[in-house]
A = this chain, B = another copy of it.
Amino acid sequence: MPIVVQKYGGTSVGDTDRISAIADRIVRAREQGQDVVVVVSAMGRTTDDLLEKASDITITPEPRELDMLLTAGERIAMSLVAIAVNARGCRAASYTGSQAGIITDTQHGKARIVEIRPQRIKESLDAGNVVILAGFQGLSTEYDITTLGRGGSDTTAVAMAAALGADVCEIYTDVDGVFTADPRIVPDARKLAQISYEEMLEMASLGAKVLQVRSVKFATLYGTPIHVRSSFHSGQGTWVTREEDVMERLVVSGVTYNRNEAKITLRTVNDRPGVAARLFTPLSDAGIVVDMIVQNISSDGCTDMTFTVPVGDYQKALELASSAAAEMGAAKAEGDQGIAKVSIVGLGMKDHAGVAARMFNVLAKEGINIQLIATSEIKVSVVIEEKYTELAVRALHAAFVSEGATNPVAESIGER
């Protein structure tokens, strides 16, 4: 029997009316003769409410206990969904991450899945149940309850889909699919019918909030097709799939932005072996994920190093960088939280030079100064002053993506 994994986010299970609505959808999927596994997030603001309670008690809650607390959220949502599905005469049973065999490492608050043991879920499906599964949570190798970080329910869904060999992992959301840019900023942004794993991975990493990065990595690894679609209607959304299955190969598929990073610079660092290790090892030990790293060409045996970190880790990172700077005899570390990262992503870039140059031109024409640049085969990211975010996104979308965009590269390959 084909297996479909459906993931519903917090808005989709926001209240008991919404839960009843998705229960109807789940029953329809089951009646189509599929095995159905449903992954749910916590209802609406539940997670924030729980975090607030913890912060009423202390600003530094014990991470193990915070995970125990937050996992109550999915537990409530999943059992209510199971109650609603059962009430429609369709047998359903809910399982926690622990019961579903989602084994993680021991990093509370941002645990990584190390293994899935789906035996119990398989047995439940074989017994004829619709399976309702708590997203966002797992059991650590030390038998403690863990959470996978914000958006972790996507990862639960895709990882379970991979473990079960599901035919598709449907991600239900309050938007219609993956857009070429944030429609709140770019009114003529359009929904993509398809996008490759690689592009989706870049877009998710670069700020598109529709899918958690790690979920896309799982899908890429196991070739699980993802269908991002609306929980409000049954129209097609965006299929995230292998590159060779993407029909329309755009030079630029999307323009993304991320205002949740901060920049730290160490000036006049001695340019000798081991310097980068001395700076980044303590950051890594503290569990801080460094995003962009840029080192200028050395002059006079000295160099500048700049890197970006999530805003939430900024203070800690600045402290660590400052103490590293002191040890290395560098001028002290400088920080800036007023930045944004704006990126263009597209498979077509692989085959076409000149996309980055054109991007810089577009920004220059708007008078936007570029602070940092990072490129990969299929994306170009720039860090700019935060206040220019919307302007930059609109200008880049108009230049590369909008209908009638004067995009010589795209035109040259005859796809627009």
User: Which residues of A does B touch, CB under 8 Å?
Assistant: 16, 19-20, 50, 53-54, 56-58, 60-62, 64-66, 68-69, 71-73, 75-76, 78-80, 82-84, 86-87, 92-94, 96, 99, 120, 143, 145
Contact = CB atoms under 8 A, between A and B. Distances in A.
B69 A84 contact: no
B69 A75 contact: yes
A188 to B, nearest CB: 40
6 contacts: A16-B56, A50-B76, A65-B92, A68-B79, A72-B72, A96-B145
A44 to B, nearest CB: 12
B99 A143 contact: yes
Contact of A65 (B20, B62, B86): B86
A84 B71 CA distance: 18
Given A64-B93, A65-B94, 18 more contacts: A16-B56, A53-B76, A53-B80, A54-B80, A57-B83, A57-B87, A58-B84, A58-B87, A62-B86, A65-B79, A65-B80, A65-B92, A66-B79, A68-B75, A68-B79, A72-B75, A72-B76, A96-B145
Please give me the 3 A-B residue pairs with the lowest Cβ-Cβ distance, nearest first.
A58-B87, A69-B79, A68-B79
Contacts of A93: 64-65
Contacts of A120: 143
Given A20-B57, A57-B20, A58-B87, A75 B71 contact: yes
A16 B87 contact: no
Given A60-B87, A72-B75, A75-B72, A65 B82 contact: yes
Nearest to A64: B93
User: What does DSSP make chain A's interface, helix, strand, loop or mixed?
Assistant: helix
A78 B62 CA distance: 13
B78 A68 contact: yes
Contacts of A19: 57
A324 B170 CA distance: 52
A187 B62 CA distance: 46
A50 B78 CA distance: 13
Copies in the complex: 2
Most chain B C-beta atoms within 10 Å of own C-beta, residue among A72, A79, A86, A143: A79
A117 B30 CA distance: 39
Contacts of A99: 143
A171 to B, nearest CB: 24
Contacts of A143: 99, 120
A120 B143 CA distance: 10
Given A19-B57, A57-B16, A62 B75 contact: no
A52 to B, nearest CB: 9
A68 B61 CA distance: 25
A48 to B, nearest CB: 14
Contacts of A80: 53-54, 57, 65, 69
Contacts of A69: 75-76, 79-80, 83
A54 B83 contact: yes
Most chain B C-beta atoms within 10 Å of own C-beta, residue among A60, A64, A65: A65
Contact of A87 (B61, B92, B96): B61
A19 B76 CA distance: 22
A308 B369 CA distance: 82
A341 to B, nearest CB: 34
Contacts of A58: 83-84, 86-87
Contacts of A82: 62, 65, 68
Nearest to A98: B98
Contacts of A16: 53, 56-57
Nearest to A23: B57
Contacts of A66: 79, 83
A234 B20 CA distance: 48
A80 B62 CA distance: 10
Contacts of A92: 62, 65
A83 B61 contact: yes
Most chain B C-beta atoms within 10 Å of own C-beta, residue among A20, A69, A93, A99: A69
